[in-house]
């Protein structure tokens, strides 16, 4: 790995930073400009629909993870726990509650507006329901509830799709019309969806570039930057189209040059290819990335980068069927898949991306991800014959990140891969 004193940024990263800054600036000015906003979640987000009503999305999970990266969550969580929130529950929720109690200042240092409406797209996470109950109690604002059925049987049935579409028509759209003061305009929604598809195609090309050796990207640490715009407020916008076009060109250039991924510390020389299941630890994001990079470990695929949509396995928004495609999108998000489907996906990644093994970062906060991961570990090991590693931490609660312990486990894990490889070469 080439050391670098200052974190390196590609042009696409600078573009993303500008996009985010402009978005939060619009949100901060909303009380003066009169622009309306909608708080919602990443999995099952309906950004194109919100944008078609000129509503600005606000994503509390993203605020929490940004707070984690900026070292704010220890204080935020303390505020929430002091107010009676249990130490046992999701730290995203507590970070968000704490942030709001301390002025609701967003990641760019500007105050976020109070929600005009909460779009509770209840997709793959039970805590979402409780989280927006808490916010509703605080803000006394309207809530559009969208129950997205879980893929318990591993499929989307016509009944499930109809249930979601009917809720969109009869509950969500009327609520958004009322808040925004605009009538539902399906043609406008379609225009957003067309742009979504363009961005999705480029994102998939970026994610699948990791099949090259060396992989030009890190699909977990780097991946969280790549999914940023499309998972949050920008899907369906021209900004997102431009961002993904630029990102794809950068990645293709790296392939042409035979380069591996770039990390904040510099270029990474690929020694181990791993698939990663679970979200990163935002409070120690750079420290954890460095642990991987120091070992030459590159994530060639990850499940976390599928929580806001599983595009690399074929899904694209379909502008010809706008509400049906939104329904399918919601139901297809990673944490809305049952455990057998998750095992299938990780197994497929290990094989297709020629990974040496797979790693699970089990986070205390997110039981939607974590409950069952030890079974996933055993099952994927059994099916692929490749070793699984297991580390534990948290999303944004720094009390649950034990750096020395995690480093020790990672080093042992990579040594095991090296030994297996050496044994295979010897035979």
Pick from 52, 67, 302, 362: which binds another protein (CB under 8 A)? 362
For the CB of residue 81, give the shortest distance to another protein in the complex, in Å. 10
Pick from 5, 6, 34, 88: which binds another protein (CB under 8 A)? 88
10 Å Cβ neighbour count for 169? Answer: 12
Q: Which two tokens stand for residue 196?
A: 């979504």
Q: Which two tokens stand for residue 34?
A: 């009169």
Residues 175, 118: Cα–Cα separation, whole Å: 10
125 binds another protein (CB under 8 A): yes
Of residues 234-263, those binding another protein (CB under 8 A):
none
Pick from 54, 170, 185, 411: which binds another protein (CB under 8 A)? 170
Tell me, residue by residue from 371 to 390, as one string, x for binding to another protein by CB under 8 A and - for no binding. xxxxx---x-----------
**Nearest alpha-carbon partner for 305 in 386, 203, 209:** 203
Pick from 73, 370, 384, 393: which binds another protein (CB under 8 A)? 370
Helix (H) or strand (E) holding 56: strand 56-58
100 binds another protein (CB under 8 A): no
Stretch that binds another protein, among 106-114, 163-171, 259-267, 290-298 (CB under 8 A): 163-171
Beta strand segments in 192-268, E? 262-263, 266-267
For the CB of residue 70, give the shortest distance to another protein in the complex, in Å. 25
145 binds another protein (CB under 8 A): yes
Place of tokens 């990207």: 217
| SS3 at position 270 | coil
Please state at what angle helix 91-101 crosses helix 73-82, rounded to 10 degrees. 90
**Nearest alpha-carbon partner for 344 in 316, 380, 302, 310:** 380
79 binds another protein (CB under 8 A): no
**Nearest alpha-carbon partner for 326 in 10, 43, 34, 16:** 43
Query: In this complex, which beta carbon is closest to another protein, that of residue 141 or of residue 145?
Result: 145
Number of residues that bind another protein (CB under 8 A): 51
Residues 168, 175: Cα–Cα separation, whole Å: 10
Residues that bind another protein (CB under 8 A): 83-86, 88-90, 93, 120, 122, 125-127, 129-131, 133-134, 137, 145, 147, 149-150, 152-153, 157, 159-160, 162-163, 166-167, 170-171, 338-340, 342-343, 362, 364, 367-368, 370-375, 379, 392
């Amino acid at each position: 790995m080439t050391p670098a004193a200052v974190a390196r940024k590609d042009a696409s990263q600078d573009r993303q930073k500008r996009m985010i800054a402009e978005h939060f600036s619009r949100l901060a000015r909303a009380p003066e400009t009169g622009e309306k906003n909608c708080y919602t979640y990443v999995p099952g987000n309906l950004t194109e629909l919100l944008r078609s009503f000129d509503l600005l999305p606000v994503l509390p999970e993203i605020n929490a993870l940004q707070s984690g990266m900026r070292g704010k969550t220890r204080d935020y969580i303390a505020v929430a726990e002091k107010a009676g929130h249990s130490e046992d529950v999701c730290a995203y929720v507590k970070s968000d509650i704490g942030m709001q109690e301390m002025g609701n200042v967003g990641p760019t240092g500007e105050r976020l507006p109070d929600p005009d409406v909460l779009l509770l797209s209840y997709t793959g996470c039970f805590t979402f329901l409780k989280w927006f109950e808490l916010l509703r109690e605080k803000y006394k604002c309207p809530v559009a509830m969208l129950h997205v059925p879980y893929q318990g049987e591993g499929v989307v049935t016509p009944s499930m799709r109809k249930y979601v579409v009917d809720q969109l028509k009869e509950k969500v759209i009327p609520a958004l019309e009322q808040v925004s003061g605009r009538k539902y305009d399906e043609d406008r929604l379609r225009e957003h969806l067309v742009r979504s598809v363009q961005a999705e195609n480029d994102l998939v090309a970026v994610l699948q570039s990791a099949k090259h050796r060396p992989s030009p990207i890190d699909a977990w640490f780097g991946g969280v930057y790549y999914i940023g715009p499309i998972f949050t407020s920008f899907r369906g916008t021209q900004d997102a189209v431009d961002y993904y076009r630029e990102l794809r060109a950068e990645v293709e250039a790296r392939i042409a040059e035979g380069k591996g991924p770039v990390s904040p510390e510099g270029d990474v020389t690929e020694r181990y290819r791993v698939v990663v299941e679970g979200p990163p630890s935002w409070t120690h994001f750079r420290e954890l990335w460095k642990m991987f990079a120091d070992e030459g470990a590159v994530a060639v695929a990850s499940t976390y980068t599928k929580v806001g949509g599983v595009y690399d396995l074929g899904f694209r928004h379909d502008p010809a069927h706008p509400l049906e495609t939104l329904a399918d999108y919601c139901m297809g998000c990673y944490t809305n898949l049952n455990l057998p489907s998750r095992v299938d996906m990780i197994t497929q990644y290990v094989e297709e991306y020629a990974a040496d093994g797979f790693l699970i970062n089990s986070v205390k906060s997110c039981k939607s991800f974590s409950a069952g991961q030890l079974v996933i570990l055993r099952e994927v090991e059994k099916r692929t014959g490749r070793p699984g590693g297991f580390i534990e931490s948290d999303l944004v609660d720094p009390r649950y990140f034990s750096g020395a312990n995690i480093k020790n486990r990672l080093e042992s894990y990579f040594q095991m891969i090296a030994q297996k490889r050496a044994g295979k070469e010897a035979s």
